[in-house]
A and B are shown apart, each in its own frame.
Chain A
Amino acid sequence: MNEKLRAISQLDRVIHEPGRLMIVSLLFPVEQCDFLYLLNATEMNKGNLSSHLSKLEEAGYVQVEKTYRGKVPLTLLRLTRNGRVAFDAYRNRMKSAF
């Protein structure tokens, strides 16, 4: 019991922050999505979302691709292999703890 509870102390802090947890949870089941989707789904402001995405990108969890749809700029985001593995490990730790 204590061991399972102690697993909480080993949670990935990059993912554990509520804003980033929201982002990673949204990205996990999909192949990719754009910035606008995350903006609407998380209801964060653009600055906050960009800041969280930068931290996730630095950690190597999110891949950011800047492109265009027609003439409109489009930012596509997807979880990297490391991001998927880290979120899965985070989820398993939470499951075993609770």
Chain B
Amino acid sequence: MKAEIQNGPEWHKRYDNIDGTGDMLMGSMLLGFALLSYLQNVIPPHSIWRTNIIASLIFMYAILAAVLGPAYLVRSIIKKRITWPRTGYVAVHSIWSAMLAPKKKAADALPGVPSKLGLWSFAAAMAAVGMVVGGGFMLVTWFVTRHVHGTPIVLGIYGALFQAYWLLIYAFWTWRIGGRSRWKWVLLLFMAAGVLMISLAGSDNFLDLTRRVMPFVGAMWVISGLGTFLGYLRHTQPPAQEPA
């Protein structure tokens, strides 16, 4: 409550995932990236999809659209047919309308409504965090590749520690908007065990390891969404039908 008074209420973020569609979408996104990574790895090195930048971008967007498109469609159907009639409709402020809105004076900015400056600041902050995290991962990869030598088990443990960021992202998501269900923390433990097992199965290449861990984490995230969805169906009542 204190955080909500200080930073602004955030109920709508948790409500958005009340039916698990947020979890499902995140999982689908990871599965999409995993599929992309797999396909990029298996297509021949001299293929136009690898050598030509434009073609590789088209390839990337086509794969992601093929996975994320149906995921968005399913989310939209669940929202319209199940969630809104059961527990109500909420529309958040459109980011695009704020981005495309004409420049306003500071006095015209409405409290609680995203402003263009706020969105650009957020985007810049996210880019800075992404660069720091990406740089950190590159540094860790370089360090482990150059300086860490040992048995496959030691390398596996290093790999698991490296892959722990997936668990941190899931934990953060669950804490902030995942619904704070207890079983999700059990799922996190299962996810951690799975990541450890995959890492111990052996790979001294961290990128290759990420390629194998990502579909597992994505699938777990989708399962987390399905669990939330089933719980939502069980604990909410369909709207009463008007007598004919």
Distance, CA A41 to CA B18, complexed state (A): 12
Q: Give the size of the chain B interface in residues (CB under 8 angstroms).
A: 23
Nearest Cβ in chain A — how far from B113, in angstroms?
7
Docked pose: A32 CA to B6 CA in angstroms:
22
Q: How far is the CA of A81 from the CA of B104 in the complex (A)?
A: 15
Q: Taking the complex as formed, is A52 at the interface, i.e. its CB lies under 8 A from any CB of chain B? A: no
Name the A residues within 8 Å of B5 (CB-CB). 91, 94-95
A37→B112 contact, CB < 8 A: no
Query: Is the beta-carbon distance between A31 and B111 smaller than 8 angstroms?
Result: no
Q: Which of B129-154 contact A (CB under 8 A)?
A: none
- The answer to whether the Cβ of B42 comes within 8 Å of any Cβ in the partner chain is no
The reply to whether B89 and A33 form a contact with Cβ atoms under 8 Å apart is: yes
Asked whether B244 is an interface residue with its Cβ less than 8 Å from the other chain, the reply is: no
Cα separation A26 to B15 with both chains bound (whole Å): 11
- Convert B100-126 into 0s and 1s, putting 1 for each residue whose CB lies closer than 8 angstroms to a CB of A: 000000000011110000000000000
Residues of B22-76 whose CB lies within 8 A of A:
none
Q: 3 nearest interchain CB pairs?
A: A37-B88, A88-B111, A36-B88
CB<8 Å pairs between A and B, sample of 18: A25-B9, A25-B11, A26-B9, A28-B8, A28-B112, A29-B9, A29-B112, A30-B92, A32-B90, A35-B88, A37-B15, A37-B87, A37-B89, A41-B11, A41-B15, A74-B89, A79-B112, A87-B112
